[in-house]
Amino acid sequence: MALLALAAEIDPSVPVLFLDTGKLFPETLAYRDQIVAHLGLTGVRIVQPDILDVAAVDSTGDLWSRQAGACCYLRKVVPLVQAVTPFGAWVTGRKRYQGDGRSALAPIEASDGWVKINPLASWTKQDVFGLIAKRNLPKHPLLAKGYLSIGCQPCTRPVTALEDERDGRWAGQDKTECGIHTLEPPAVIAESEREIALTRDA
């Protein structure tokens, strides 16, 4: 929300890619619509996984419970890479305080063929919520229920006061990123990519 508010001040028609994995909370979809209306964004593009890819690799819809990495690759990485391909630069809302691989995040990166711009890299949590309060911006309704980092519904839970905000993502798994900022598929994801490719070639 903070990043979108800053972008909308410059140009409300800036292309905004909203990645709808098909597994999002209903509250997230409603929040998207609220943000678009509140900020007057006119360049929002809904990005979704290909229905044929989903049918081939996740026909039962429970890939997340068996191979979370493969699910993220199918529903996030593949469609987003296709959507950002026409652009030379990609602006993200990642911040160093989110921890793990983000702690040394640079404001500008050369990554995977794109220039990634991270204008909020050095912002603190207080900076983010300070901007939201100052401008009276709407908050995601699940924040009040303890969801401090919100992804897909099956793989997101509330966090306790003793946990980091991203501990609620893929809890109990050795996974901290969905893959859209790494694009380095582990073996299970690479296998899913081959399945997708074979399906398309069939």
Q: Which are the catalytic amino acids?
A: 178
- Per-residue DSSP letters for 93-128? ---GGG-GGGTT--SEEEETTEEEE-TTTT--HHHH
Provide the pairing of β-strand 108-111 with 114-117.
Answer: antiparallel
Domains and CATH numbers, the chain: 2-201 (3.40.50.620)
What are the strands, taking DSSP E only, across 4-43?
Answer: 16-19
pLDDT bucket at 195, cuts 50 / 70 / 90: low
Q: What is the DSSP letter of 169?
A: B
What are the strands, taking DSSP E only, across the chain?
Answer: 16-19, 44-47, 89-91, 108-111, 114-117
**What is the per-residue pLDDT for 178?**
82
Reading the block at residue 10, the tokens are 């410059």
* High-pLDDT (> 70) share of the chain, %: 89
pLDDT in tens, 121-165: 999 999 999 999 999 999 999 999 999 889 999 999 999 888 887
pLDDT in tens, 12-67: 999 999 999 999 999 999 999 999 999 999 999 999 999 999 999 999 999 999 99
Flag whether pLDDT at 91 surpasses 90: yes
